[in-house]
Amino acid sequence: MTLIADRPGPGAARPYRFPPVVRRTAAGGQVVAAHLPGQNLAVALLLLDVGAGQEPVGKEGLSGVLAKALEEGTAQRDAAAYALAVEGLGTALSTGLDWDSFQASVVIPVDRLSAAVELLAEAVRTPKLDPADVRRVRDDEATALRMDWANPGPRADAALRADLFGAQNRWGRPMHGDPESVAGLDVEDVTVFHSEWFLRPGTLIVAGDLDRIDLDALAAAAFAGTGGGPAVRGGPIEVPLHSERRIILVDRPGSVQSTLRLGHPSPHRAHPDHVAMTLAGTVLGGAFTSRLNHLLREVHGYTYGIRGDFAASRRFGRFAVSSGVQTAVTALALVEAVGEITRTQATGVTEDELEVARSWRAGQLSVELQSPRAIASALTTLVVHDLPDDYHARLRESLLSADVDQVSAAAATHLHPEALTLVIEGDAAVIRADLEATALGTLLP
Amino acid sequence: MPDSGYPWPIQTSRLDNGLRVVVSEDRTAPAVAVNLWYDVGSRHEPAGQTGFAHLFEHLMFEGSVNVAKTEHMKLIQGSGGSLNATTNPDRTNYFETVPAEHLELALWLEADRMGGLVPALTQETLDNQRDVVKNERRQRYENVPYGDAWLRLLPLLYPPGHPYHHATIGSMADLNAADLATFQAFHRTYYAPNNAVLTVVGDATASDVFALADKYFGALPARDDIPPAPDGRNVPATGQTAVESVSADVPAPRVYIAHRSYPFGSPGYNVITVLATILGSGRGSRLYQRLADGERIAQPDLVGAYGVDLAHAPAPLIATATARPGVSGERLAEGLADVVDELATVPVTAAELDRAKALLSTGWWRQLSTVDGRADLLGRYTTQFGDPARIAEQLPALLGVTAEQIAEAAADVLATDRVTLTYLPEETS
């Protein structure tokens, strides 16, 4: 035999060192930066304290339309000139939204960072927002959402969210809105939202070689013309669990796969069980080697993949499982998935599984120390959730020290298989009878 | 910015069995990327065996002589690592990024499946992964609007018998017919050390990696009769345009215009890369300015142009646009063709050229900002061009492209053999 049979053990462990974090107040705003010596690329990210959660009910998608409208011309130049200025530097304005925050960022060689931040601020702080442009962007966004909603997934996601959190609440509606909510926006919605939220200073996040970056100059550009205090943050929202399992069927005639979205509400981000829940979710569905993927993909071949996790924002969270399974095995796959969630809740995790989960989560923190983009993302977590500079090092220790009892207790407490909502987007004519026959829950009309 | 496109060290070695080993040390993060390029892809598949190279890639995760089924994933993830593999027409690659102290484990796992897969391969595993791949095909190509565009473009661009004629995912019929003996033979034929490049980038020294490579891979036998894929370098021009119109469950008309250009790695392909950026990358591109912003016939998020980086035949150049509501597929196709054709008639300005080069430059550094990004490129340049150091020439080559070269390439590539693929919503066609 030419192969070496003995599996090698690990070499000497490298220390985990998150880059030095610099925090300062400058030009009326907060700057949070990480020093990456020798790095050619830099990231600047303007983080605003306004997320989808601040959009009024019925106005879902407002932030997305505003984000696109920012690039339709500014106080200084028209849309084409703005595009050429930004892209001539070799970058693009990248925007993102979640429930808690809005971000606009640039990734660029460090010697051009200040010019890029000036252009970023120009768009965020002084967009022209010409009414005709805003209406066109709104129509384009509605069209883009219709395109997206023609794919499997968005309708199932929306059905699950509405059932978990209630469509009367903003957090019970899609984060990015739907084609109808966006089509219904008017120009004033956009301009008022901008003046209310986008002229507050927010936080400038920078990841790069700080020896080659003038943070004060970047802050002066990013915070020019801003005012107003931080938004009032609401406390955690109590979301009741359903008293029994239910099935929602979203028809997709002719579909060769069924899209599964299973879920229930779970605690908010600051809950003390956050780390233990993360690990329980990892064992159940968070990694390729997790229970759900092993059973449905590697044992049964029902799917290309299935994932499940706990996700949390400042005010609420949810446990969810998602997959696409072959139409003919939809009911079988659903029974297996619910069975595995039930088993995990009832009997917890094993040391063998937990060892993989905590090593993976902890090791990923090391792997993610490479790029400025990843470091900027880690800094964003610190700001959004009010975490200290040594958070990632502490998180690593918490992950590595979590034991079977803690993680099994989190699974027992925070998984609710009997309260699951099971959304299936698929060919109703083919799968309805099979779903009813599973007796997994009441099939809602 | 450094003058070179690759300001990190590169050290190479070749084991006696032909395995090429490339190391690029970087101590910035306590992580190391391990990447294996095998010089086998769907271009090697004979008729009746489409999809086999990719299905085989799945089997490589299912256990080998000293690694139990599913243990590969468990060991890498249990070390804190990320891992995956991809197959394309040209090659198959396997890669993991792990905390640096687990480098030796990653090499052991890769060696075990390079040298010891066949005895562990079972009918049960094949049947299971065949089902997984069929679900992958449904999920990626069949169940999403426009999902089969690539499957339709390839046979329009490359004639029957050409190694790029069929798509890597393969046909359901061929996947159903796959038998165990074929896969055992596939491994024996192509998964030899002299048909692979091992690249390690990150927190490791070259001498340590060379010693470990020799320890784990050194005794694997070379194979001296690895059959080449069919030669696809010359694709005779037909002088014809190919037009395919598909009526499907799609939300809006969409048009693809495609041409064969030059192989990846050639000077011509570098010109095409800059040309495609001018044509279709970003809000300052011609397609965006003309179709999305100017005539407003295309959806702004869905215009684009790109080369597909295949190295063994003239590679595709593709431009695409999707209609705004109320715009017909015919009108969109005309508008798209006009902008594409103008590449040969309306000279590229200095501002257009500078914009494209700035975007490509940032894109290059982003790709190199992670150890796995660097490992993949080093493996590519070693496998396809025999020399990892060629990586340093790539960015300067892109930055040296001139407007005259773009005009020449546009006139050459766009002159003949245009492929136009149009999707129309079922109810309007």
Strands (E), B210-253: 242-248
What predicted TM-score, i.e. pTM, was given to this entire model? 0.94
From edge to edge, which strands make up the β-sheet containing A303-312?
A: A303-312, A317-326, A257-266, A421-426, A246-251, A442-443
Asked if B363 and B369 count as a contact pair (C-beta separation under 8 A), the reply is no
CATH class of B242-428: alpha beta
Interface contact flag, A372 B112, Cβ < 8 Å? no
User: B30 to chain A nearest CA, in Å?
Assistant: 6
The pLDDT value recorded for residue A368 is 87
List, for residues A280-299, the tens digit of each pLDDT value. 999 999 989 999 999 999 99
Cβ distance of B249 and A301 shorter than 8 Å: no
Give the CA dihedral B333, B334, B340, B341, nearest 10 degrees.
140
Please report which confidence band the pLDDT of residue A229 belongs to, taking 50, 70 and 90 as the band edges: confident
Cβ neighbours around A439 below 10 Å, total? 9
CA B79/CA B76 separation, integer angstroms: 5
In this prediction, residue B7 carries a pLDDT of 94
Residues of A in contact with B252 (CB under 8 A): 143, 147
- B1, A110 contact by CB (below 8 A): no
Which residues of chain A neighbour B81 with C-beta distances below 8 Å? Answer: 360, 363, 367
Q: Chain A residues with CB inside 8 Å of B369's CB?
A: 39, 41, 370-373
pLDDT at B70: 86
CA distance B240 to chain A (A): 33
| Contact by Cβ (8 Å): A181, A60 | yes
Q: Test A3 with B115 for CB contact under 8 angstroms.
A: yes
Q: What Rg do the C-alpha atoms of chain A give, in angstroms?
A: 24
B177-228 pLDDT per residue, tens: 989 999 999 999 999 999 999 999 999 999 999 999 999 999 999 999 999 9
Burial class (CB in 10 A: 0-12, 13-18, 19+), B372: buried
Mean pLDDT of chain A: 96
- What's A181's DSSP letter? H
Read off the pLDDT of residues B92-144 as tens digits, 9 standing for 90 and up.
999 999 999 999 999 999 999 999 999 999 999 999 999 999 999 999 999 99
Q: Distance between CA atoms of A123 and A76, rounded to whole angstroms? A: 9
Neighbours of B370 (CB within 10 A): 22
Q: Where are the alpha helices (DSSP H) in A296-401?
A: 330-347, 351-367, 372-384, 391-401
CB spacing of A367 vs B80 below 8 angstroms: yes
pLDDT digits (tens, 9 = 90+) for A295-327: 999 999 999 999 999 999 999 999 999 999 999
Of A220-234, A343-357, B96-110, B113-127, the least confident: A220-234
- Residue A233 has what pLDDT? 83
What pLDDT was estimated at residue A241? 98
Q: For residue B1, what pLDDT is reported?
A: 47
Please judge whether B81 and A4 are an interchain contact, meaning their C-beta atoms are less than 8 angstroms apart.
no
pLDDT tens profile A109-130: 999 999 999 999 999 999 999 9
Residue-range domain boundaries for chain A:
21-223, 246-443
> Looking at beta carbons, which residues of chain A come within 8 Å of B355?
84, 87-88
Residue A1 has a pLDDT of 55
**Contact at CB, B301 and A298, closer than 8 angstroms:** no
Provide ipTM, 2 decimals: 0.92
| A4–B111 C-beta distance less than 8 A | yes
What CATH number should be reported for the domain whose range is A21-223? 3.30.830.10
d(CA B398, CA B264): 12
CATH numeric code, A246-443: 3.30.830.10
pLDDT at B2: 52
The pair of structure tokens assigned to B157 is 């661009």
Determine the Cα–Cα distance for residues A159 and A205; give it in Å rounded to an integer.
35
CATH architecture designation of domain B11-217? 2-Layer Sandwich (3.30)
Report phi then psi at B401, rounded to 5: -70, 135
Q: Where are the domains of chain B?
A: 11-217, 242-428
Residues of A in contact with B118 (CB under 8 A): none
Residue of A nearest to B107 (CA): A8
Nearest CA-CA partner of B81 in A377, A13, A366: A366
Per-residue pLDDT of chain B (429 residues; tens, 9 = 90+): 456 899 999 999 999 999 999 999 999 999 999 999 999 999 999 999 999 999 999 999 999 999 998 899 999 999 999 999 999 999 999 999 999 999 999 999 999 999 999 999 999 999 999 999 999 999 999 999 999 999 999 999 999 999 999 999 999 999 999 899 999 999 999 999 999 999 999 999 999 999 999 999 999 999 999 999 999 999 999 888 999 999 999 999 999 999 999 999 999 999 999 999 999 999 999 999 999 999 999 999 999 999 999 999 999 999 999 999 999 999 999 999 999 999 999 999 999 999 999 999 999 999 999 999 999 999 999 999 999 999 999 999 999 999 999 999 999 999 889 999 999 999 744
- CA B230 to chain A, closest CA, distance in angstroms equals 31
Q: What is the pLDDT of residues A26-80, one digit of tens each?
A: 999 999 999 999 898 999 999 999 999 999 999 999 999 999 999 999 999 999 9
Interface contact flag, B82 A136, Cβ < 8 Å: no
| Residue in chain A nearest B355 by alpha carbon | A88
**How many other CB atoms are there within 10 angstroms of residue B219's CB atom?**
17
Closest chain A CA to residue B77: A360
Can A21-223 and A246-443 be said to share one CATH topology?
yes
B75, A359: Cβ pair inside 8 Å? no
